[in-house]
Amino acid sequence: MEKNVIEQVFGTDVFNDDRMREKLPKDVYKSWKKTLESGADLDTDIANAVAHAMKEWALDRGATHYTHWFQPMTGVTAEKHDSFLSPATDSRPVLVFSGKELIKGEPDASSFPSGGLRATFEARGYTAWDCTSPAFLREDAAGVTLCIPTAFCSYTGEALDKKTPLLRSMEAISKQAVRILKLFGYNDVKKVSCSVGPEQEYFLVDRDKYLQRKDLIFTGRTLFGAPAPKGQELDDHYFGTIKERVAAFMKDLNIELWKLGVLSKTQHNEVAPAQHEMAPIFATANISTDHNQLVMEVMKKVAKRHNLECLLHEKPFAGVNGSGKHNNWSIVTDTGINLLDPGKKPHENTVFLLFLAAVIKAVDNNAELLRLSASNPGNDHRLGANEAPPAIISIFLGEQLEDVIEQIVKGDASSSIQGSQLDTGVHVLPVIRKDATDRNRTSPFAFTGNKFEFRMLGSSLSIAGPNFTLNAIVADALQDFADELENSGNFETDVKELIKKTIIEHKKVIFNGDGYSDDWIAEAERRGLPNIKSMVEAIPYLVCDKTVKLFERQNVLNKVELESRAEINYEIYSKTINIEAKTMADMAGKQYIPSIINYVKSLADSINSIKAASSEADISVQTNLLNKCSSLLAKTQKALANLEKVTAEAANKEEGKEQATFFKEVVFAAMEELRAPVDELEMIVDQEYWPVPTYGDLLFEV
């Protein structure tokens, strides 16, 4: 029988464990596994052997080049390709790939954002192999390339990327969790890791139409556009039947992802027209981060094959939902226990309750940081608006845990609410059990059975930042707990006391109601929870004293690294808005205004010819339209001039906070002012004259 396509293709482009076992001498493979498990430094001989095996495999598959694939602060991935070719003694080429080349690379790093960490004249940066994430092959027009996941650091060892702090944070949380577990007698646990499953939302639009919109090309979102007559109000797209063209894309996407070992699992239509989602099965945090970068890259690539364009921007279209990424996160031991699994009787599960208390404490103490970790310029359009979680960080626990927590606060927990049978009222339907807790879709940080779902992330964001933040803050809470409990004279009593004390202190961050309601905003304010409206306002929390101490204590980022990241964040914000402003000016000046002038002229011509033909004809429609368009045209021109003026002013502001704030407060407002009259004109101008595809064309004609 022929194999199923998943079995045929899964992992074929990955140098995974099976392949290592097959290609490496037995003893080398064993030492390699040992190194991996212990986290010890990699021996040169082993590195050489792995490099050799990797090369043989890649060459067999037709690879000509290899690359150290890394994740600089741009949020996208970077790579520089080298061929396997080496100088030969005779005229024949020799193909070489040594252990040294596998573990270390040296891209010229001067043009990556470093936030002042590296002067251009000190351009050295190193990439170091992350041997816990498997190498893979990428096939494209350049041929086949062996891609080696790496971390990227400066000459003096500072992290220049998103991966290094993530790997550091994984060690931090492991160390502290192992300490805690020892106290409970789990002496066999050597390592704890975080599992992450990111759900990815995206839009697909027709590529020919996309290419007619400079705003989509340059900024990833529409900067102009009147609403289509239909939006998402009928809820008929959500989970709806998938259109043929989109289905063909999804099929291809799955195959490409499966080849790369990405466990692509779920696909469906999302709320907005032309919006979809893909969710993989969770994996260890660093692999999941690599995979999510691949997912975004492959989505873009595969879309083009179908003459579609994949939009990963958080808010490609005003008036309909934007896109996010749900980051499902849990902590598991190397012996296979999910520490966030409450089991049937959470009230008796002290290990679970202690880890839960750590998460609650971590989130409450560091809400600002979490909020920042989910921010990018695009996500400012969503957070706090009525479609994404509010910008206020709170935790949803659900009925069952909420009840346990209440009991703990009052004294001692002695029971857990159990799931019951679902009554559908229909006899032919099978009996199903319902979960002890319903879902909550409005919470930014929701407990969902055996994991937390951090729902604030923007769709285009690298998940490295949110996860290293989460790992670091939870590690820090666990460290406090371990410090306290290791000195305890009576562990049983003290651990319960600690859980109770922590919950009482941090209970204010728990909220099980509707996160979209106005009542909640007022209530959150009463509770003293931060409500940070924008990315620019969140950035300072990256360098405040509390954050620096925490990240340094956990060895995730030091002060200099944090300061550089704050700079980069300001810079990214300013540059993004600057590009948007310039794109708007370009479109208004070269496309909208000339087209509207043409239309106005056609109205004037028509009025004149009618007048010439008859002095009695009613020309009020044409005249009204002419007047209305002319007045909106004048408004457009004025707003354009203002936008150009303030954008030029922004360039003279001091880089960093001052400039970013100016972009947010002044330039962004000027952009809105320019958009308004153009969108109004779009509703009245003859479509023959309209220079770009409309929302209707983009959202409904895939």
Interacting residues with Mg ion (CB under 5 A): 326
Residue nearest to Mg ion (CB): 326
CB of 446 to ligand ADP, least distance (A): 9
Tokens of residue 153, six digits: 């650091």
CB of 453 to Mg ion, least distance (A): 5
CB of 93 to ligand ADP, least distance (A): 44
Out of ligand ADP, Mg ion, none, what residue 281 binds, judged by CB under 5 to 8 A for its kind, is: ligand ADP
- Is residue 467 within 8 Å of 166, Cβ to Cβ? yes
Amino acid identity at 626: L
Out of Mg ion, ligand ADP, none, what residue 66 binds, judged by CB under 5 to 8 A for its kind, is: none
Distance in angstroms (rounded) separating the CA atoms of residues 434 and 408: 25
CB of 459 to ligand ADP, least distance (A): 14
- Is residue 70 within 8 Å of 53, Cβ to Cβ? no
Cβ nearer to ligand ADP, comparing 442 with 622: 442
Q: Tell me the backbone φ, ψ of residue 196, rounded to 5 degrees.
A: -135, 130
CB of 455 to Mg ion, least distance (A): 7
Q: Which residues pair with 284 in a beta bridge?
A: 195
Tokens of residue 92, six digits: 């024949």
Out of ligand ADP, Mg ion, none, what residue 195 binds, judged by CB under 5 to 8 A for its kind, is: ligand ADP
Distance in angstroms (rounded) separating the CA atoms of residues 379 and 534: 9
Distance in angstroms (rounded) separating the CA atoms of residues 107 and 80: 7
- Is residue 378 within 8 Å of 572, Cβ to Cβ? no
Measuring CA to CA, how many Å separate 110 from each of 121, 126, 419, 461? 8, 11, 57, 23
Cα-to-chain-centroid distance, residue 573: 16
Tokens of residue 188, six digits: 């066999």
Cβ nearer to Mg ion, comparing 113 with 198: 198
In 84-124, at which residue ranges do the beta strands (DSSP E only) sit? 85-86, 94-95, 104-105
CB of 279 to Mg ion, least distance (A): 7
CB of 386 to Mg ion, least distance (A): 18
Cβ nearer to Mg ion, comparing 456 with 529: 456
Cβ nearer to ligand ADP, comparing 112 with 282: 282
CB of 192 to Mg ion, least distance (A): 24
Q: Give the residue carrying structure tokens 């600690």.
A: 498
Cβ nearer to Mg ion, comparing 440 with 647: 440
Here's the x/- map for ligand ADP, 468-497, by CB under 6 A: it reads as: ------------------------------
Residues 555-584 that bind ligand ADP (CB under 6 A): none
Measuring CA to CA, how many Å separate 150 from each of 68, 71, 174, 462? 6, 8, 21, 15
Here's the x/- map for ligand ADP, 69-98, by CB under 6 A: it reads as: ------------------------------
Cβ nearer to Mg ion, comparing 118 with 382: 382
Distance in angstroms (rounded) separating the CA atoms of residues 697 and 702: 8
CB of 199 to Mg ion, least distance (A): 5
Using the rule CB under 6 A, which residue among 16, 35, 338, 555 binds ligand ADP? 338
In 245-321, at which residue ranges do the beta strands (DSSP E only) sit? 264-269, 275-280, 283-284, 308-311
Distance in angstroms (rounded) separating the CA atoms of residues 475 and 224: 45
Cβ nearer to ligand ADP, comparing 196 with 593: 196
Q: Which residues pair with 241 in a beta bridge?
A: none
Distance in angstroms (rounded) separating the CA atoms of residues 687 and 599: 10
CB of 478 to ligand ADP, least distance (A): 18
Q: Give the residue carrying structure tokens 């750590």.
A: 358
Residues 179-198 that bind ligand ADP (CB under 6 A): 195-197
Residue nearest to ligand ADP (CB): 197
CB of 326 to Mg ion, least distance (A): 4
Out of ligand ADP, Mg ion, none, what residue 512 binds, judged by CB under 5 to 8 A for its kind, is: none
Here's the x/- map for ligand ADP, 400-439, by CB under 6 A: it reads as: ----------------------------------------
Residues 245-304 that bind ligand ADP (CB under 6 A): 266, 279-282
Cβ nearer to ligand ADP, comparing 10 with 282: 282
Tokens of residue 138, six digits: 């990428």
Cβ nearer to ligand ADP, comparing 325 with 381: 325
Burial of 229 (0-12, 13-18, 19+ CB in 10 A): exposed
In 155-288, at which residue ranges do the beta strands (DSSP E only) sit? 192-206, 264-269, 275-280, 283-284
CB of 395 to Mg ion, least distance (A): 15
Among 372, 685, 354, residue whose Cα is nearest residue 540: 372
Cβ nearer to Mg ion, comparing 55 with 326: 326
- Is residue 245 within 8 Å of 308, Cβ to Cβ? yes
Cβ nearer to ligand ADP, comparing 279 with 359: 279
Cβ nearer to ligand ADP, comparing 176 with 193: 193
Distance in angstroms (rounded) separating the CA atoms of residues 147 and 367: 36
Out of ligand ADP, Mg ion, none, what residue 266 binds, judged by CB under 5 to 8 A for its kind, is: ligand ADP
Told to check if 6 binds ligand ADP by CB under 6 A, we report: no
Told to check if 450 binds ligand ADP by CB under 6 A, we report: yes
Burial of 192 (0-12, 13-18, 19+ CB in 10 A): buried
CB atoms within 10 A of CB 9: 17
CB of 267 to Mg ion, least distance (A): 14
Give the interface size with ligand ADP as a residue count (CB under 6 A): 16
Assign 3-class secondary structure to 60-83.
Answer: HCCEEEEEEEECECCCCCECCEEE
Tokens of residue 5, six digits: 């396509």
CB of 10 to ligand ADP, least distance (A): 16
Cβ nearer to ligand ADP, comparing 329 with 663: 329
Out of Mg ion, ligand ADP, none, what residue 338 binds, judged by CB under 5 to 8 A for its kind, is: ligand ADP
Distance in angstroms (rounded) separating the CA atoms of residues 71 and 61: 25
CB of 350 to ligand ADP, least distance (A): 20
Cβ nearer to ligand ADP, comparing 438 with 483: 438
Cβ nearer to Mg ion, comparing 276 with 326: 326
Please, which residues have CB within 8 angstroms of residue 340's CB and are 6 or more apart in sequence?
A: 330, 331, 352, 355, 356, 359, 447, 450, 451, 452
Residues 196-225 that bind ligand ADP (CB under 6 A): 196-197, 199
Residues 306-335 that bind ligand ADP (CB under 6 A): 326, 328-330
Residue 620 Ramachandran class (φ > 0 left, ψ -120 to 50 alpha, else beta): alpha
Distance in angstroms (rounded) separating the CA atoms of residues 653 and 661: 10
Contacts with ligand ADP, residue ranges (CB under 6 A): 195-197, 199, 266, 279-282, 326, 328-330, 338, 450-451
